[in-house]
Structures are given as C-alpha cells and as structure tokens.
Structure 1
Amino acid sequence: MSETTKLSSNDGFELGAYVARPAGEAIGGLVVIQEIFGVNKHIQSVADGYAKDGFLVVAPAIFDRAEKNVQLSYEGDDTKKAYDLMKKTEIPKALEDIQAALDFVRAQTGKKAGTIGYCLGGLLSWLSATRLNPDASVGYYAGGIGNFAEETPKAPVMLHFGRKDSHIPAEQGEKVKSLHPEVEVFWYDDADHAFNRDVGATYNPQAAKLARERSLAFLKKNLT
C-alpha cells in the first residue's frame, strides 16, 4: 500500500514524501534516497519492493526545496534539469530532510530505521551514516564519496560500485575501504553507473539482483 505524506524538517521546511507500507506489521523502517531524477516511478518501485520485504519505507522529496514534486525521466531536457537541481541541493539541508524521514518511520514503527540511496542518494546515505543517526546505511554508486571518505560512519554501512562506472573513479570506493575496513564494499565487474535502475541502457540485472540480495540481508540483520 502506498501513499504520499508531508514531512517537517528541523528548520520548519515541509517536504513531500512517498510512503510504501508492508502488508503486515513493519519489521523496521527504511528511508529510500532518490537519484538526481526525483522521487519518480523507479524510486517509487524501489520503495514498494522493500515494503514487500516488510519495511515501512519513505522516500523524501529532497528536491522540494528547489522545486516541488520532481519526477524526471532519464533523457533529453529532463537530464539537464536533473543536473541543475543537483547543483542547487545543499547537503546540510538535504540531510535535515532525511532526518525528518528517519524520525517519521521510527515514530510510525517504534523500531530501528536505516537508509538506502542511489547515486546522489548513495552519497547522502553515506553522509547519513556519518552525520545523522540511522541504524544502518546502504549506498549504491555514491557520486563524490571520495570527497567525504575521511568521515567516520556511526552505523554499519554497505556500499555497491560498478567497475565500469565512468562517473565514479574506482579510487573513491577504494579510499573508503582503506580508511574504514569495517565498511562492506562490493564491486560488480560488468556493471556501469546506475546498474540497479531497471530502465535504461546501464541496467545490469545480474549485478542488481546480487546487490539487492546483499542489501536486504544487511538491512534485516541491522534493522530487525
């Protein structure tokens, strides 16, 4: 079951969010953090999938501070708009909005809560683990993570990278692993950037399946 709701950040800003509820009692809470294309149909489907696994899932619209209800495709003018919105995103404010989402799922479930994010969301999931209070965090192809690799996570973290990702140099993920050997870092040899996104040319079903299996096991271990 899905719905939309409003979240209130600490600074009083109100943002939208997509909520996916499990069929029965939630086993924990999960915040799905968007790519640069907003809380579009793909991100909603990711949220729906983890709700089917038993989590109460919320996907906060972190672009709402720049433009409300952003849902972009992966081509044409939408791609340019996505990058423009990314440049307008202030990380501290985005993290405030993610904290509001964590607070929401914890209040709703009374249980642990974690984050999982993709691309920009992967970076924000990492920063959630270093600066906020999730019980676990997962990041897929976290863009720019090397710039923040020296920050120390306060919760268990799992990261996924594609070896063929031209957007994220391999040394960024390797830097994280070198500085934080406790972080679980997985590489997928035949995978490109956005290999989990099941629309578009970079989708790699084998890598996506394995990464999701690992992520689900990790989240269940740390959130239930």
Structure 2
Amino acid sequence: MASSSDVHVRICSQEIIKYDLEIKALIQDIRDCPGPQSALLNLNSQVKGNFNKLRLRIQDLEQMAREQDRETDRMEIQAEAESQRRQMLSNQTAWRKANLACKLGIDNMEKDELLQRGENNSVRQRKVTKESLVETSSDITESLMSISRMMAEQVKQSEDTISTLATSSRTVLETNDEFKSMTGTIHLGRKLILKYNRRELTDKLLIFLALALFLATVLYILKKRLFPFI
C-alpha cells in the first residue's frame, strides 16, 4: 500500500501536469487569436492565473522533497520539481513569443483596416497602434522580469541541491572510513581468537603430558614399594 506521502506527491505531480497542459493550450489559443485586443487580454489573464497555480504546486513538490526520509526519494522528487521549473520557464518563453506574434498579427490587421478607412481614420488608428505597442512593450517587460525572477529562483535551488549533494558525499565517505576501521578491528580480533585457541590447545597438551608423567612416577614408586624384587 502506498504511503500518504507518496499519494500527496502523485496528486501534486498530476496537478502540475494538468496546469502545464492548460498553459500550453492557452498559448496555442494566443497564437491563433485573430483579435481584438480584449480577447488577447482575456487569454493572457487565464495564462497568468495558471502560471501562479503551477508555481505554487511546484513549490509544494519541493517542500515534499525536503520532507522525505530517504535520500533517494528526496533526490527523485527534487529532480522532478527542477524539471517542472525548467518546463515552466520554457512555457513562459513560448508565451512571450506567442504574444509577440499575435500582437504583430493584430497590428497588421489594424494597419490594413487603417488603409481601407481612409485618411481621417488613419490618424486615430495610428494612435491606437502606438498604445498597443506601448502595452505590448509593457507586457514583454513584465514577462522578462518574471523570467528573470524564475531564473534567480532556479539558480538558488541549484545551489541548494549542490550543497545537499556535497553533504551527502561527506556522509558517505565518513561511513566508508568507519567500515574500514571496523573491518580492521574484526580482522585483529580474529587473529587474537586464533592465537588464543592455539595457546589453549598447547596448554591442554602440556597438562596432559604432565599428568601422564605424574601417573607414571606414582606407578613406578608403588611398584618399587610393593614389589621390590621384581
């Protein structure tokens, strides 16, 4: 039966995959969006909401990794969290490109409409285009700042992982040294036991010979006393 921790990790991973697929679908909708600007803003709002949910679930997965008792489980979950963070950064880049492509298409469409409406509408439409470009620039700047923050978090997470791996390596080396010391002690103890067994056998043999000599001496004396003429 799976433990409660495994169930929570699996549920969290499934939710991360769900948000990732939803973000990819919304990015594709942005690429295909014919306009107007309000429709694009609505799609971007949904993408931002899903990114916030995805970021929180990745943080939950990282916390679960830190709470694992076994080193292998912790490293496995942490690796999955890092992979999901990289995927999120990739989605953010794709989102920014999709916005640029969509807004360029909308701008081109608006320019075509400007040419069709004539000279009077041209001035007003150029103003709208400039505002759209300003808004695009603002959105791009926001996306770049978000990517920068995510990369800083990724760098910090990588530093923490390297520190953890270094600590684990030191622990393994110390354990190996202890095993070597124990092996030497066991080998020495074995030698002492073998030496003691050999000494014990020698002592028993000497005692037996002394006892035999004693008995032979007693028998000889008795023989001389009881049978002096034999």
**TM-score interval, normalised by the smaller of the two chains:** under 0.3
Highest Rg: 1 or 2? 2
Which is strand-richer, 1 or 2? 1
Higher helix share: 2
What's the TM-score once normalised by structure 1's chain length?
A: 0.25
